[in-house]
Amino acid sequence: MSFLDSDHLIEQRIGCSIRSFFEREGEAAFRDVEEEVISDLVAQGGGVLATGGGAVLRPANRQRLHAGGSVVYLHVLPDELFRRLKRDTQRPLLQVADPLARLREMYEQRDPLYRGTAHFVVEAGRSSAATLANMVLMQLELAGALPPRP
């Protein structure tokens, strides 16, 4: 299956990093572009689509994603996200005095939206990429969304 990352495609469309666009144009303008890109990608169909964490903030994105295929929410708690992202300087919403507190706030807001959009929730925690991929495939196969592997 093809793999598409909406953030990567957004950066191609806007011609700069998301962080630069965010600083120059603001979050609302970014979310407008994000919605357009997600709409285009879902309309193309097929493959695996990775979205940015805030994609679920827009009802139109949630509806399109849910209707467009099998949505898998890779669930990770804020403390684990902080461990992974504490040195990341490219995520505009985490460039604050207390990024862990910000992650906790975002989790409280977004977790119900992710769960409402997803067909499957997979506990990602500290799993390796290979283990996580196998867990996702197993869920999709058990649900009949993918044919069983030989």
**Cα angle at 15 between 9 and 18, to 5 degrees?**
65
| pLDDT number for residue 147 | 83
pLDDT tens for each residue of 65-87 = 999 999 999 999 999 999 999 88
More confident residue, 102 or 46: 102
| pLDDT number for residue 146 | 84
| pLDDT number for residue 28 | 96
Tell me the sheet residues that pair with 5: 50
| pLDDT number for residue 54 | 94
The H or E element containing residue 122 is: strand 120-123
Give the chain's largest Cα–Cα span: 50
pLDDT tens for each residue of 19-70 = 999 999 999 999 999 999 999 999 998 789 999 999 999 999 999 999 999 9
Mean pLDDT of the chain: 93
Domains of the chain: 3-142 (3.40.50.300)
| pLDDT number for residue 4 | 94
| pLDDT number for residue 90 | 84
| pLDDT number for residue 136 | 94
